[in-house]
Amino acid sequence: MIWLRSTLLFLIQFFAAPVICILMIICLPFGFPVLYRLVKIWTQIAIFAARVVCGIEYRVIGREHIPSTPTIVLAKHQSSWETFFFLQLFPPQVWLLKRELFRIPFFGWGLAMLRPIAIDRTDKLSALRQLVQQGRERLARGLWIVIFPEGTRTKPGESLPYARGGAVLATKTNTPVLPIALNSGNYWPRDTFLKRAGTITVSIGKPIDPKGFKPEELNQHVQSWIESEMQRLPST
């Protein structure tokens, strides 16, 4: 049954993606608000299908901590699930991405139309300059910025070094940081086709004011909160 449900979810995403992508191309002249709305519809389809077909529910702890002003989200990344869910949870946003993602058919093409902050991770100094320059511009436009500081999806129980780019951007622009812990990898794991029924927990910490922090200190503070909170979340 788990194979059947996972296959059905895949087919729903597979056929929805090109439809949304074609609509985005048609609506390209209407600009970011319309394109963003189309992508958000796709994410709603994915989250709804995951719940109905595969039994993947979710709960959010700390929703009251979400600010009303543009914020930098620094989040744990275990699954594709949060890339869908964050577009529903937070106000209009852009992500820090590696350029290679643009090569993914339909999904990557759709992302490219939303003008994310795309960096070349092979040149760390240039990537950091790009992040600060483009991040400052996106924040000035009233957009949120979502960053996964570990740089890739991790397995449950795994922790990778946190890149300091998000902390640098926060200190240079005096923008609050919102730390996020989640356990999506228990039910929508990386590198596997099968999805497990269960309830994903998303825990939102209190916004962190970057004033008085050096980038390294802020980065460590965020990492400590996220990794400590991960220990409190259900592991199954």
At 20-44, the pLDDT tens digits run 888 988 998 898 999 999 989 989 9
Is 2 part of a structural domain of the chain? Answer: no
Question: pLDDT band at 62, cuts 50/70/90?
Answer: very high
Mean pLDDT confidence for 40-55: 94
Between these two residues, 29 and 102, which has the higher pLDDT value? 29
Is 46 part of a structural domain of the chain? Answer: no
Residues 80, 192 contacting (CB under 8 angstroms): no
Handedness of CA 205, 92, 121, 101 (dihedral sign): positive
| Full residue range of the structural domain in which residue 95 is found | 56-232
Give the integer Cα–Cα distance in Å for 136 and 235. Answer: 37
DSSP 217-233: HHHHHHHHHHHHHHHHS
Give the integer Cα–Cα distance in Å for 106 and 162. Answer: 29
Q: What is the pTM of this model?
A: 0.93
87-83-26 Cα angle (round to 5) = 65
Give the integer Cα–Cα distance in Å for 102 and 78. Answer: 20
Is 115 part of a structural domain of the chain? Answer: yes
CATH at 160: 3.40.1130.10
Residue (of 148, 8, 14) closest to 78 by Cα position: 148
Mean pLDDT of the chain: 92
Is 11 part of a structural domain of the chain? Answer: no
Give the integer Cα–Cα distance in Å for 147 and 171. Answer: 15
At 151-179, the pLDDT tens digits run 999 999 999 999 999 999 999 999 999 99
Mean pLDDT confidence for 202-228: 97
Is 41 part of a structural domain of the chain? Answer: no
Question: pLDDT band at 107, cuts 50/70/90?
Answer: low
Mean pLDDT confidence for 41-49: 93
Burial class (CB in 10 A: 0-12, 13-18, 19+), 164: buried
For tokens 């209407």, the residue is: 30
Between these two residues, 171 and 124, which has the higher pLDDT value? 171
Is 113 part of a structural domain of the chain? Answer: yes
Mean pLDDT confidence for 212-217: 96
Token code pair at residue 11: 């087919």
Residues 153, 190 contacting (CB under 8 angstroms): yes
Give residue 112's pLDDT.
Answer: 76
Domain tally, the chain:
1
Give residue 218's pLDDT.
Answer: 98
Is 8 part of a structural domain of the chain? Answer: no
Residues 6+ apart with CB under 8 A from 61: 201, 202, 203, 204
Mean pLDDT confidence for 217-226: 98
